Structure 1
Amino acid sequence: MHPWDSQTFAEGAKNAGRSDATIANALAAADSIKKTNVNLPVILSLGHLAHLSDVGLPVLRNYVERSDDPYRVFQVKKNHVGNAPRKHRTICVPEPSLMRVQRWIAQNVLNAEKPHPRSYAFAPCRSLVQAAERHAGCRWLIKMDLQDFFESIDERRVYLVFRSMGYGALLSFEMGRLCTRLRGSYSAEPQDAATLSTGYKFRQPGFLPQGAPTSPMLANLVVRALDRRLEALGLKYGWVYSRYADDLAFSTKDITGRGAAIALVKQVEREVRDFGLRENPAKTSITPPGHRKVLLGLLVDQDQPRLTKKFRNNVETHLFALGHPKVGATAHCAARGFRSVTGLRRHLAGLVAFAHAVDKPYAAGLYADFNKLDWSR
């Protein structure tokens, strides 16, 4: 993508026969975007976005019109929490052309905007380990979870994110449609589906689908205001705040009591609900001094985050079985329920990489064992 140059654009538009009024309007729109954030790309219309993303304009219009459901939908099991029944997470994978334009928006538009400093997921140069480091050595730890995080963020809030970047109202509406999905049937048009002022139908707002490349960053940008409120609330009472996707954490090294922790939880719940989201009560926990503190899969009861014994045992068991002459990749893959040896290999590589981010000396030994494995047997 070429950098924006207003003079080059004006000359090209004039040579193409565009009127002075049209050129002036386009330059004003570009100026609005660049004043907001100089790193944002200038996008003037859906046709311009089609050109930039190399996806046909009729295809994009079809997505915005919501003529058909362009997502492949399936479910995966959620992690089991306490005594609650195991639930499923709905994954929505966009078809190739929609995936292409969503990736373009994610890489070129959303990447130019910064989430709140205490948000550590889905952002360059931020990580799960950094989120855990904020709470290392804490006395008290509060963990909370935002329920149905992506699905709770609707098209109207996505529209406002694009508008806040300086993009025009119609284009912001269209990009909001490209990044969201309807909850109900695409074929059953509701009775109130009058044509909107935009020229498109459907009054029912879509939501952020889990599986779209734009959803994580858009969710971060939507909840920046909530992050500001929650950080301020924590600071008011001497607690440190962080958010990693839908996982909220508060901690303190001060001497306090359970009553103060419970009071903070109730205030956080009010802030979350006032913002239009909901917490998942089954995942709220308060850990006092003297108890094992695990946040985002890492121990945070000392000065630095550490790998849990459960994690170490798991990765070491994988390596032992895969390297054992009587087991090997094929048998271990079947025993652990992996669909393929390739899937098992990628899973284990991810575990070792995670260990490396937390404990490099320990991970060096894991890498040495991993690199010796014979995956052909």
Structure 2
Amino acid sequence: MKDKEGKAPSATMERVVERLYKAFVKVAQNDGAPGPDGQTVEDVKKSLSKVIRELERKLVAGTYQPGEIRRKNIPKAGGGERGLGIPNVVDRIVQEAVRQTLEPLYEPEFHGSSHGFRPGRSCQTAIREAHQYVSEGYDWVVDIDLEKFFDRVNHQRLMAVLGRKIGDDRLLKVIHRMLKSEVVMPEGVVVRTEEGVPQGGPLSPLLSNIVLDELDRELERRDLRFVRYADDCNVFVRSERAGKRVMTSLKSFIERRLRLKVNEGKSAVARPRERHFLGFRLEDETPDGEVDIRLSKRTCERIEARLREMTPRNWGRSIKACVEKLNTYLQGWLGFFSIVSEREVSKLGSLDAHLRRRLRAMHLKQWKRKETMRKRLERLGVRGKTARKVLYEGRKSIWALSISSAAHVGLSNRYFTELGLYSLKENWSRKQGSVVVPTQMALPLG
């Protein structure tokens, strides 16, 4: 419901205050690192009633002032760094309470093709919608990269948009103060914030969607098919010519109207199979003409690098402990990437095989001496003659031995299954509720 001026009656500071305890529960669930004041979630919990009462008083009186934000740079998948802004725990509570107050007002009005940070939506729903468009013949993509989006949001424009729906000046002032919070850089320098929405706070994702909803509406007005996940936006058209025309006009709209910057070096008009979107790639050149959801090259490189990190030769604990650690990572990874098409399952099988080989190498390294290796392999069912031939004929590295017939028989696939190792290929099949028929292709010993 809105009043005569279009304001939402529920967007008040009193509603924010009512949600402070509930907001703390959410902040505590997410935990997270301390902000510049050094307080942890547990520290705040010890005096929660006092903290909430003080926040209530300041928020209602209009005297609440957010503290500084700690900047932390994390590596981006495509190279470079992304800056996270980590607020103090008490400020995260206020941000979360504001988010819980505003989200029910904005969420019903957001566009259906916006998938980022929204209830019931995810990267997977975004990819499925993109897959649908390519399958329908919209097989050119206008891939728009917004340069440092979170650092470049114009505060004046954002506050003007919020002011159309929020009638409580106290709430608007609190949001404005949050946007203007000073930032403690990694080297300790404190800088003022003139633009941007710091990533890392509970309110930032909602504010980013509010900013980019205007882009969604413009795309809808032009009757374009698009998918947006936060600041990643793909527009799907039927020809390269149409794509170039859309790119030119959208660049003008984004830079003049939204006052944001399009990264021309990373944006492109191309076939979907030539681009990556949210870790996936849409492949339309298949034997049966169906569009496949594949893993992007970058995704494959990242999981391979992560598995290398998690299986070092100098692992000082049991292989069982390593497997348990791997399983946690692999289950989470497949939970995200399980929507890949069946033709991509061979890649999952290759990852399984490569991981087993690395674990074999770890085993052999832990056994150290060749004589110990021989005895252990014989206990695991390898014939003595085979073990001696593999181990003693010529000089072989641990990595070379890990793919030998002796290692493959003694430390078999079944051995790792009984050890509890999570299989990407087998669990993909279980998630689909069917058994995958192996493709006729040569795979390395796994």
After TM superposition, the score normalised by the length of structure 1 is 0.64
Bigger CA radius of gyration: 2
The percentage of counterpart residues that share the same residue type is 21
Question: Which amino acid in 2 is paired with 1:173?
Answer: K
Question: Which amino acid in 2 is paired with 1:43?
Answer: T
Unaligned runs of at least 5 residues, structure 1: 1-29, 81-85, 191-203, 333-339
Query: Residue in 2 aligned with 1:5?
Result: none
Aligned equivalents of 2:140 and 2:276: distance in 1? 11
Matches within 5 A, 1:249-260: 249-252=234-237, 254=238, 256=239, 258-260=240-242
Query: Residue in 1 aligned with 2:85?
Result: 92
3-state SS in 1 of match to 2:221? helix
Matches within 5 A, 1:81-120: 86-114=79-107, 115-120=110-115
Q: Compared with structure 1, are the counterparts of its residues 208 and 107 closer, same or farther at alpha carbon in structure 2 (3 Å cutoff)? A: same
Query: Residue in 1 aligned with 2:268?
Result: 285
Matches within 5 A, 1:215-230: 215-230=204-219
Moved more, 271-280 or 307-316: 307-316
Question: Which amino acid in 2 is paired with 1:231?
Answer: E
3-state SS in 1 of match to 2:130? coil
Q: Compared with structure 1, are the counterparts of its residues 170 and 141 closer, same or farther at alpha carbon in structure 2 (3 Å cutoff)? A: same
Question: Which amino acid in 2 is paired with 1:251?
Answer: F
Moved more, 314-323 or 117-126: 314-323
Q: Does the 8 Å contact 1:63/1:178 carry over to 2?
A: no
Aligned equivalents of 2:311 and 2:20: distance in 1? 46
Q: Compared with structure 1, are the counterparts of its residues 323 and 100 closer, same or farther at alpha carbon in structure 2 (3 Å cutoff)? A: same
Question: Which amino acid in 1 is paired with 2:85?
Answer: C
3-state SS in 1 of match to 2:262? coil
Relative contact order, CA 8 A, sep 6+: which one is greater?
Answer: 1
Q: Does the 8 Å contact 2:254/2:260 carry over to 1?
A: yes
| 2:255 aligned with 1:273 | yes
Q: Does the 8 Å contact 2:145/2:266 carry over to 1?
A: yes
Query: Residue in 1 aligned with 2:370?
Result: none
Report the RMSD for the aligned CA atoms in angstroms. 4.7
1:213 shift after superposition: 1.2
3-state SS in 1 of match to 2:151? coil
Query: Residue in 1 aligned with 2:159?
Result: 159
After superposition, what is the alpha-carbon deviation per residue over 1:23-69, rounded to whole angstroms, capped at 9, x for unaligned? xxxxxxx97499755xx745246xx7446415323665898546x52
Unaligned runs of at least 5 residues, structure 2: 22-51, 285-289, 353-415, 423-446
The structure where helix makes up a greater share of residues is 2
| 2:204 aligned with 1:209 | no
Query: Residue in 2 aligned with 1:307?
Result: 294
Aligned equivalents of 2:84 and 2:160: distance in 1? 24
After superposition, what is the alpha-carbon deviation per residue over 1:287-343, rounded to whole angstroms, capped at 9, x for unaligned? 248x5453322222345551327546865897799799x8879699xxxxxxx9998
Matches within 5 A, 1:1-377: 32=3, 36=7, 41=10, 43-44=12-13, 49-50=16-17, 52-54=19-21, 55=52, 56-57=54-55, 64-65=64-65, 68-69=67-68, 71-80=69-78, 86-114=79-107, 115-136=110-131, 137=134, 138-178=138-178, 180-182=180-182, 205=194, 207-233=196-222, 235=223, 239-252=224-237, 254=238, 256=239, 258-274=240-256, 275-288=258-271, 292-302=274-284, 303=290, 306-308=293-295, 310=297, 311=299, 347-358=329-340, 372-373=420-421
After superposition, what is the alpha-carbon deviation per residue over 1:244-271, rounded to whole angstroms, capped at 9, x for unaligned? 111121112x3x3x33322221111001
Aligned equivalents of 1:34 and 1:370: distance in 2? 67
Query: Residue in 2 aligned with 1:26?
Result: none
Query: Residue in 1 aligned with 2:434?
Result: none
3-state SS in 2 of match to 1:249? strand
Q: Compared with structure 1, are the counterparts of its residues 251 and 35 closer, same or farther at alpha carbon in structure 2 (3 Å cutoff)? A: closer
Question: Which amino acid in 2 is paired with 1:147?
Answer: E
3-state SS in 2 of match to 1:92? strand
